[in-house]
Amino acid sequence: MQLTPSRSAAPLSSLALFLLLCCHMTSTLSQKSDSALAVVENTEGEVEVMDEGDEGDFEVVQPTEEWQTLKPGQAVPAGSHVRLNLQTGQREVRLGEEQLKYLDQEHRETEETSISPEELKRVMKKIKEDMKPESAEHQDSVASRFRPMEELKREMAELDLLVQTDDQIMRRLLEQFNSSSSTTEQRLSILLELEYLVHQVDNAQNLCSMGGLQLVVETLNSSDFRLQQSSAFVLGSAVSSNPEVQVKAMEGGALQTLLTMLATDQPLWVKKKVLFAVASLLRNFPFAQRHFLSRGGLQVLSELFRGDRGGVLRTRIVTMLYDMISEKELISQAGLDPGLHASHQELLRQYSLVSLREGLLEEGWCSLIPELLDSPEHDFREKALRAMLALAPVCVDQYRSHSSLKVSLLLLREQYQDMIQSQMILGEENEYFEEMMDLINALHFKLR
């Protein structure tokens, strides 16, 4: 799960959220986590997550009228106002302007102090109807206490003019980052702010043209681990699904620097983010993949894999390799289609230069990946099984001569069979275990 922050997008749906939040806030000012979670559900992913990867363990902060400091890993509902306090270097959040405005209005216009959930639902339904241009009937309901949609939109447009554009913000941040008087703490929070901004394709591209990407790449070489980690995070987010920025990062020498970081002594938490940056840089980018291979990337990863006893990096590495294998496979399969576009032919040619499977075979991955099967985590095993199947065309001889692989597979199969047959687990889990069985059987079949 990777939720993408949406700062300036989707005004209409955010609007619904403002209103919902406002009702919620007036009625349940003192309740916290419950209502925050409800908001998250209702808006389907409109939550801003400030960390990549560790899905599921972020905490949603419910903003109030007062500024409160955000801790790393905390998320806020869309529409909240987040700012960087340059004195303290902390990120802070409070209710967004619209939310505050309506909170005020509610206080002024009505003596009512609570709105029942039923009423709230009715309001939400009404708001949705209001959004359809043809429906203009205004009943004497709770919804009529809100101002008409058109007026609201006009005010929001005016507000937009007052708010600094992302470009202005980035320029200011970069200036401050580059200033010799900035402290490490300030630089760290600036990087966090940039990381947030570059999720938007345009912002990441503008960062390049402002010279900011190069600044970020240079910061990878900093002597401070925290700066290394944060700059890798910004870089990874900036190149994600953004071909133009991927090219710029390659030109700026990012790949070589990242590989050096992976190959040298660094704390695990730094390497985690560096790996994220490498994976994002290589994704759907055969040119970078080819350079990754020719610069010994697979060897660097295999040493990392061998040294990672805890398993935190192992799964990420195998997932990344699996993604690369299947990416190439998908392109080649589509390549069998006659009447193909010329650009696809070129893509096909570029992928043909990426000798991924051969490289994996050479660097000993045929025997490394099966080690993940011993993990107690279903997820790790699944990644291992999928990668092993994808590598079967080059690895099958080594699988067959592996001393314990067959036994491991049989034991796993037994274990999943037992779990499926037991009455304890629920439908969804059962499906997952059946999928695992299919993977195990498919692999077992290849070993015969």
Ligand X SMILES: *[C@@H]1O[C@H](CO)[C@@H](O)[C@H](O)[C@H]1NC(C)=O
Rounded least distance, CB 7 to ligand X, Å: 22
Rounded least distance, CB 319 to ligand X, Å: 27
| ∠ Cα 264 265 269 (to 5°) | 110
The CB density around residue 58, as the number of other CB atoms within 10 Å, is: 17
Tell me whether residue 212 or residue 359 sits nearer to ligand X (CB atom): 212
Tell me whether residue 211 or residue 243 sits nearer to ligand X (CB atom): 211
Rounded least distance, CB 211 to ligand X, Å: 4
Q: Using CB under 6 A, list all residues that contact ligand X.
A: 174, 178, 210-212, 215, 217-218, 221, 253, 257
**CB pairs under 8 A, 24+ apart, for 218-222?**
219/187, 219/191, 220/254, 220/257, 220/258, 220/261, 221/257
Tell me whether residue 93 or residue 204 sits nearer to ligand X (CB atom): 204
Rounded least distance, CB 235 to ligand X, Å: 10
- Could you tell me which residues come within 8 angstroms of residue 77 by beta carbon, excluding any fewer than 6 positions away? 17, 21, 36, 39, 40, 43, 46, 47, 48, 60, 62, 63
Tell me whether residue 217 or residue 405 sits nearer to ligand X (CB atom): 217
Q: How far apart are CA 165 and CA 334, in angstroms?
A: 41
Tell me whether residue 217 or residue 436 sits nearer to ligand X (CB atom): 217
Q: Assess contact for 25 and 103: CB atoms under 8 A.
A: yes
Rounded least distance, CB 171 to ligand X, Å: 8
What's the Cα-to-Cα distance from 402 to each of 98, 359, 371, 440, rounded to whole Å? 63, 19, 11, 16
Rounded least distance, CB 416 to ligand X, Å: 47
Tell me whether residue 45 or residue 253 sits nearer to ligand X (CB atom): 253
Q: What backbone phi and psi angles, to 5 degrees, belong to 46?
A: -85, 50
* C-alpha 335 chain-centroid distance: 30
